[in-house]
Amino acid sequence: MENNKYIVRQAIKDVDSHVLGYEIMYSDGNEAYSGDGGNEVTAAEAIYDFLMQNSEKALKDSCTFMTFTSSLLARRTPHLFKSKNLVIQIDDSVIIHPFAMHLVRQYAQEGYQIAVNDFQFMPRYLALMEYLSYIKINMKSMTASAADNIMRVAQSMNKRVIATGISDKETFDWASSMGVYGMQGSFVADKLANKVHQSGYLRSNFFRLVVAVTKEEPDLQEIEQIVSTDVTLTYSLLKIANSAYFARRTKTTSIQQAIMTMGLNQLKRWVYLLSAGDQGGNDLENSEEFIRISFMRASFASALQGYLKEPVLTRSEAYLLGMFSTLGYLIDAPLEDILSDIPMVDEMRSALLEHTGVGGKLLDLIIDYERADWKRITEEAEELGIPSNQLTTIYFNCMEEVNTIWKQMVNPEALKNMEKSAAEASLAEEISVSAAEAAETQKQ
């Protein structure tokens, strides 16, 4: 399923070419966007896909600059990152928003560094100086006198100035002579693009998830059940729970562990990023059948696990084995790359990649059962210690359960109701944010 979406990193360097940090941008394959201009979808997708990339390189010994809109700030999206790893980048759409600026002050007090794009020598920008760590000035649109004024104020207040738009040696020399802290642009460093590998999740199931996480008292078991029916949501959750931002000493290897690792607040932020971005729209018509197959395989593998004479996989591992067996069809990337950041026991990894070991035989049995290859089914069941005379009963029990849940998920009326409930839940969240905004404005 071909897509042309990329996460773009551009280095910020000092005069001696030492890397000081990276700005994270988003690209449709033709042009890179920093998320500025208040584009909610672009900013949300850049943040979500950066988390999914699990790119620790951009976090080591340097700062990661990301642009946040007013809404993303209000949804506490920066809290997905540790304060030491992130520079919250804002632009004029945030600066003119009183409540957003209240949030910026809060983030600064929490230890996050704040950078402002395209700083201008204007009162509303100067009023921010107390909370800023970095000032970015665009050398393409900057006059010499304006640049000198900004540098003088910045140096008097001990702020770091980053010159952007450095596209040639002349501009580089000008910025160097001004004594800027860092520089960014095509002359300083090329943009490095990493292709984004994603697959569309099931809309109706995602609406259920939105409703579940926004309840006054969310039920973690309900959230686990919803995620576990959709391989793309499961994959996304495990990737993010094991990313550089949540990783614990013990790796997260199950949906339940991932939910506990992240906690409800971070789960809400993850769901919001999914809803604000465009991850649900990728070839969904083709994805739906594979999502259903993965759900059935997961259920069947989990049920068969209890019959194995060599139970080298736990029940939850067997479930994920069946579920992840379709990822190679859902995501446009080699399966080895897809699974590289998902921790799992060697037995499970070798089963998925090479179809070896007990796990590989179990997966072969499940696939051969789908193909009705009875000769191989009998041989494989006997080798695994599974009574072949019970296979049909086990399979149909799983199929009945899966079909019952699936019909509820894809039923047009149920989809309509879920979409309405999700919209109401999102509206309630918006009202909550608006109430906080109104209260803050009243104070001022």
Q: Which parts of the chain have pLDDT scores under 70?
A: 1-5, 26-39, 53-62, 196-200, 244-250, 277-286, 411-444
Who contacts 326 (Cβ-Cβ below 8 Å, separation ≥6)? 231, 290, 291, 293, 294, 297
- pLDDT at residue 275 in the model: 78
Contact 171, 185 (CB under 8 A): yes
- pLDDT at residue 438 in the model: 44
- Is the whole model's pTM more than 0.85, yes or no? no
Cα separation, 148 vs 444, whole angstroms: 33
- pLDDT at residue 58 in the model: 43
Q: Which amino acid is at 77?
A: T
- pLDDT at residue 288 in the model: 85
Which two three-digit tokens encode residue 309? 């004479």
